[in-house]
Amino acid sequence: MHLTSYLFLINQNIRKKTYSICMKNQSCKISQRKLLHLMCCSMKSKTIEADIEATDSSTSRNGKHIEITSESYRNDRISDAIVSEVYPLSSSVKGYKLKVLDTDFKFLAGQWVDTFIPDMKTVGGFSISSSPLLLKEEGYITLGIKRSSWPPAKWFYDTCQPGHKVSLRVGGDFFYPQNENEESDLLLVAGGVGVNPIFSIYSHYFDLRKLGEKSGKETQNKVSLLFSASYYDELLYKPSIDEMAKSFPERINVQYFTTKEKYSGNRILSSRISLEHVKEALSNLNQSQTKVYICGPPTMIKSINKFALECGIPKARIFFEKWW
């Protein structure tokens, strides 16, 4: 076996073991990405810029999910699911509620699913938009899928109806730990449909705070969300985001941005996210322990990463999802 292939297999095996530890140990306070670093399993060190440039190719733009995520963690388990609901999220994005038939199916907030569609060779890949609590309590997950010519997305958007069956496999190294005692503040930054995994993390944060409130073990960590879209219509999940923010006004701060439409409204700015916006969002948080999660277009990830570093956030506490 070629040495590179051998190292890749070792890397994948350690990822699986690390993920298993995090799933079984609900008090795990170290992210999978950090654990992998401590276990020296990385084949080589990359900057965010190098990592983005390595995948910013015609292959990734054509939506070849398996190739884009070839080095990411993947669960071995494939689970069936039935589409329960299909509903509009915007003029170009639909939401899908899926009933997972496998009671052992689990995921961490921020992860995606390989999606196997009957009679289709191309494997889809979509970030889960719901919190793990919805799966735990009701057995459902949700997806938000934008209209596209990419076969899996096109099938969902044009063909998929309630009652259709698909198969799912969880994957991804971008996630927020399932830990009620998480002490880190969060800066969440989303661009366009990249809000899906960010909304999952945001919802999970909210669920953990509600559970902590009920149990009397509530922690004091906070979250700031910066969400940018081209048009107001594309600020997906805004009603839910706002409703959650109202429940914890001293803990949750939200700022929206529209880049191609001037919109006059509360907490909505007609501009791109700038360094000053990041500084302002971080001013509401304890920067000494803040974690930054970013998902959106490559140029946005690069700029937000740069801004976070300039604000003093260590590289080890900046996480991003390569989803384009």
State the first-to-last Cα distance of the chain, in angstroms, to the nearest integer: 32
Q: What pLDDT score was predicted for residue 36?
A: 38
**What angle (nearest 5°) sits at the alpha carbon of residue 226, between those of residues 221 and 229?**
155
What gap in Å lies between CA 123 and CA 171, rounded to an integer? 13
CA distance 254 to 263: 16
Highest average pLDDT, of 130-144, 168-182, 218-232, comes from 130-144
Residue pLDDT, tens place only, 5-46: 434 344 455 455 555 555 554 444 444 444 433 333 333 334
Alpha-helical segments (H) within the chain: 3-24, 32-38, 48-55, 58-61, 65-68, 132-138, 151-158, 195-215, 238-247, 275-283, 298-310
Phi, psi of 147, deg, nearest 5: -60, 135
Nearest to 228 by CA among 128, 300, 145, 308: 300
Cα 190 from chain centre? 9
What domains, with CATH codes, occur in the chain? 3-68 (no CATH), 79-171 (2.40.30.10), 186-321 (3.40.50.80)
* Model pLDDT, residue 214: 86
- 310-320: average pLDDT: 96
Render pLDDT for 74-94 as a digit per residue (tens, 0 to 9).
999 999 999 999 999 999 999
| Average pLDDT value over all residues in the chain | 85
Across 268-297, average pLDDT: 96
The pTM (predicted TM-score) of the whole model is: 0.85
- Composition of the chain by helix, strand, coil, percent to 5: 40, 25, 40
Q: Which of 86, 71, 82 is nearest to 41 (CA)?
A: 71
Identify which of 256, 280, 109 has the alpha carbon closest to the alpha carbon of residue 191.
256
What is the pLDDT, as a whole number, of residue 265? 79
